[in-house]
């Protein structure tokens, strides 16, 4: 059975690996889906670079907050040793929920950015499909990769 210190270290180490992977994956995603925003055709190179950096940092904040909220909401105090995928599912759902809210606020309310005609949108709020897919796919993939990189994928996620 893991004591409080090793479990805490394991949680911090895995969270750090996860967030590093998530930031990298989100940076790549932001670059690839740029043509789905009007910034791609209307922004200067500096505005585009700032937009990518801003959104990537925001993605990191969403990811960190969603993971912390998932641990608290699931009361998985011994994560990642226990409830690994339960926390991952809740973190993914929290990331999707935050993204829907933030996309709606930024596109419809604040008009901070706009979708290009090529962006498929989903009802009822007209949220872009690409940001939704980003938050449905990247958190579980990055969690799985972080778990693999931890060196003990067989023991993480099972009660000790």
Instruction: Give long-range contacts, CB 8 A cutoff, 24+ apart: 90-97.
Output: 91/63, 91/66, 91/67, 91/139, 91/143, 92/66, 92/135, 92/136, 92/139, 92/140, 94/65, 94/66, 94/69, 94/70, 95/62, 95/63, 95/66, 95/135, 95/139, 96/132, 96/135, 96/136
- Specify if 117 maps to a domain: yes
pLDDT tens for the chain, residues 1 to 160 = 444 445 688 899 999 999 999 999 999 999 999 999 999 999 999 999 999 999 999 999 999 999 999 999 999 999 999 999 999 999 999 999 999 999 999 999 999 999 999 999 999 999 999 999 999 999 999 999 999 998 755 545 454 4
The whole-model pTM stands at: 0.90
Number of compact structural domains in the chain: 1
Decide if 21 is inside a domain. Answer: yes
* Residue 142 resides in a domain: yes
For residue 157, is it within any domain?
no
Question: Is 99 inside any structural domain?
Answer: yes
Domain around 83: 4-149
């Amino acid at each position: 059975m893991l004591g409080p210190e090793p479990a805490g270290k394991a949680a911090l180490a895995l969270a750090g690996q996860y967030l590093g992977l998530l930031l990298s994956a989100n940076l790549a995603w932001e670059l690839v889906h740029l043509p789905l925003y009007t910034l791609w055709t209307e922004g200067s190179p500096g505005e585009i670079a700032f937009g990518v950096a801003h959104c990537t940092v925001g993605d990191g904040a969403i990811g960190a907050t969603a993971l912390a909220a998932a641990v608290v909401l699931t009361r998985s105090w011994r994560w990642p040793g226990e409830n690994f995928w339960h926390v991952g599912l809740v973190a993914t759902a929290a990331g999707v929920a935050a993204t829907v809210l933030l996309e709606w606020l930024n596109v419809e309310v604040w008009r901070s950015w706009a979708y290009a005609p090529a962006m498929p949108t989903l009802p009822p709020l007209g949220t872009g499909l690409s940001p939704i897919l980003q938050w449905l796919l990247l958190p579980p993939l990055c969690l799985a990769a972080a778990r693999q990189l931890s060196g003990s994928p067989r023991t993480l996620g099972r009660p000790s």
